[in-house]
Structure 1
Amino acid sequence: MATNENLPPNVIKQLAKELKNLDETPPEGIKVGVNDDNFSVIFADIDGPAGTPYENGIFRMKLILSQDFPHTPPKGYFLTKIFHPNISSVGEICVNALKRDWNPTLGLRHVLIVIRCLLIEPFPESALNEQAGKMLLEDYDEYARHARLFTGIHSVKPKPKLKSGAISEPAALNVDQTNTSAKCADQKTAISDGAPPLPSPLAPKAENRQDQSAAMLSSVEIGVSGSEAAAATLKKEAVLTKVPASGKKKIDARKKSLKRL
């Protein structure tokens, strides 16, 4: 395996530039990693494209660069087992971008994107996995079932994302709501029993308990004195309006006796 010391300085410089670019702006669905001591082996995690049997899986692969790179294409291998016509049972990749279509001006970004596109559109005519290639041509549903089975067993599962908008209420809030409900129930019971209702929270509050008690006492006294005055008035009116007949006769007799005197 080649090391940085075996690669020409201009190649190392070009690779360092490409890897920095891939790290800062990675291609969609691809994350690249490398050993700083050995640029000749490039690792990449490829997300299974949506709508394919490889969806919801992550597939690790590597590119091995030769000492005369970029004049010769890198060799690509899948480290994660995958059921695909153009990927052998040992992970070797068959794609034209790494063979006859190779061009020294092509960069690592282009190669990685082409390999991910291979998961979207396989080429069964140039199959390394003959079973997968034949199945893809004759019975796509069966091919997709096998591919999903391999994906579920061998691929790396993506980490779950954090949920949003589902913040649970604190326990204290639930306790306060319960207390409020209990207070409402107590107030209804007091009203039904004839007791005065609890003061409204919007009503002005007394300065202290003594003021509150004095206010309540004065209201009671006013109610009592008012009742007594009303009763006395009614009694007086009753006396004036209803005088017994025997009483009138006694008064008339006294008046006559006084006149005789």
Structure 2
Amino acid sequence: MATNENLPPNVIKQLAKELKNLDETPPEGIKVVVNDDDFSTIFADIEGPAGTPYENGIFRMKLLLSHDFPHSPPKGYFMTKIFHPNIATNGEICVNTLKKDWNPSLGLRHVLLVVRCLLIEPFPESALNEQAGKMLLENYEEYARLARLYTGVHALKPKPKSKTGAISESTTALNVDQTKVVPSSKVPLPAAPLAGSTASKAPGTNSQDQNAVAVLPTEAAVGAAAVQKKAAAAVPAVGKSQVDKKKMDARKKSLKRL
């Protein structure tokens, strides 16, 4: 096994460039784990391709670089147990790219993509796992069943994706009808918050909840304004009735004098 100390400087430079590229723009379904102190062992997590018995599983593999890399191909191993014709029970990978078809100009990206494609299209003719190879040719359903079983037992599980749209979900849960929310720009809010008002933001509430709560003081302000308007309208009505009564009393007194 090679280390950074005994790899040629030009190889280290090329590997560093490749690994940086793989880290910044990883191939689809492949995540490379880089050890800056030792480029001789490259780890990668490969997602099981959709539509295959390896779907919903993540398989860890490694590439071991020899001291004369890239003149000789790396050796590939699956560290996660997998039922596959071209992967031995000890994890060794059999693929022509890592053997007779190797070319020093091939990069690590190409090798990793070939290995993932192997999960999509196995080659039972060059099987390292004879049971899997024979089963693939003679009884695919049984082969797929066993491959799925291995995937479910041994493969890593993908991390659940973070939920989005939490605000809209919260709105749905509260049954808030956004069409009935009065824009604050159209209805003036009170200059000071009401005593005990629920409009102040409580810990753990989101902006959508805050908008829903903000409707309450707005409606209170509208109601208060309506009451004040009615009261103002009632005052002149009372005053007018009193004036009319005084006039009637004065007329009655005049009639008595006559």
* TM-score normalized with structure 1 length: 0.69
Q: Which of 201, 213, 231 matches 2:231?
A: 213
- Map Cα deviations across residues 197-225 of structure 1 (whole Å, 9 max, x no partner): xxxx599x47x95x753532444677999
2: CA distance between counterparts of 1:49 and 1:2? 32
Aligned length, in residue pairs: 208
Question: What SS does the corresponding residue of 2:147 show, helix, strand or coil?
Answer: helix
Following superposition, the deviation at residue 173 of structure 1 comes to 6.5
Per the alignment, residue 62 of structure 2 pairs with 62
Question: What SS does the corresponding residue of 2:40 show, helix, strand or coil?
Answer: strand
Task: Answer yes or no: is 1:98 the counterpart of 2:98.
Answer: yes
1: CA distance between counterparts of 2:122 and 2:243? 101
Q: Percent identity?
A: 74
Q: 1:124 to 1:213 in 2, by over 3 A?
A: same
Per the alignment, residue 160 of structure 2 pairs with 160
Following superposition, the deviation at residue 68 of structure 1 comes to 0.7
Per the alignment, residue 5 of structure 2 pairs with 5
Partner amino acid, structure 1, of 2:231? S
Question: What SS does the corresponding residue of 1:153 show, helix, strand or coil?
Answer: helix
2: CA distance between counterparts of 1:4 and 1:29? 28
- Map Cα deviations across residues 3-58 of structure 1 (whole Å, 9 max, x no partner): 11111112111111211121122111111122111111011111111111111111
Question: What SS does the corresponding residue of 1:136 show, helix, strand or coil?
Answer: helix
Per the alignment, residue 148 of structure 1 pairs with 148
Question: What SS does the corresponding residue of 2:160 show, helix, strand or coil?
Answer: coil
2: CA distance between counterparts of 1:49 and 1:222? 88
Question: What SS does the corresponding residue of 1:113 show, helix, strand or coil?
Answer: helix
Q: 1:137 to 1:179 in 2, by over 3 A?
A: farther
* TM-score normalized with structure 2 length: 0.70
Per the alignment, residue 86 of structure 2 pairs with 86
Task: Answer yes or no: is 1:31 the counterpart of 2:49.
Answer: no
Structure-to-structure mapping, 1:108-257, within 5 angstroms: 108-167=108-167, 168-169=170-171, 201=222, 205=225, 212-219=230-237
Q: 1:141 to 1:220 in 2, by over 3 A?
A: farther
2: CA distance between counterparts of 1:150 and 1:124? 18
Following superposition, the deviation at residue 178 of structure 1 comes to 9.7
2: CA distance between counterparts of 1:146 and 1:225? 102
Whose radius of gyration is greater, 1 or 2?
1
Q: 1:135 to 1:219 in 2, by over 3 A?
A: farther
Structure-to-structure mapping, 1:39-58, within 5 angstroms: 39-58=39-58
Partner amino acid, structure 2, of 1:48? G
2: CA distance between counterparts of 1:58 and 1:118? 14
- Structure 2 unaligned residues grouped into runs of 5+: 172-207, 245-258
- Structure 1 unaligned residues grouped into runs of 5+: 184-200, 227-261
1: CA distance between counterparts of 2:59 and 2:242? 90
2: CA distance between counterparts of 1:40 and 1:202? 76
Q: 1:3 to 1:151 in 2, by over 3 A?
A: same
1: CA distance between counterparts of 2:216 and 2:53? 51
Following superposition, the deviation at residue 134 of structure 1 comes to 1.2
Task: Answer yes or no: is 1:76 the counterpart of 2:76.
Answer: yes
1: CA distance between counterparts of 2:101 and 2:241? 105
2: CA distance between counterparts of 1:171 and 1:112? 48
1: CA distance between counterparts of 2:148 and 2:76? 22
Aligned CA RMSD, in angstroms, stands at: 3.3
Q: 1:175 to 1:25 in 2, by over 3 A?
A: closer
Q: 1:82 to 1:176 in 2, by over 3 A?
A: same
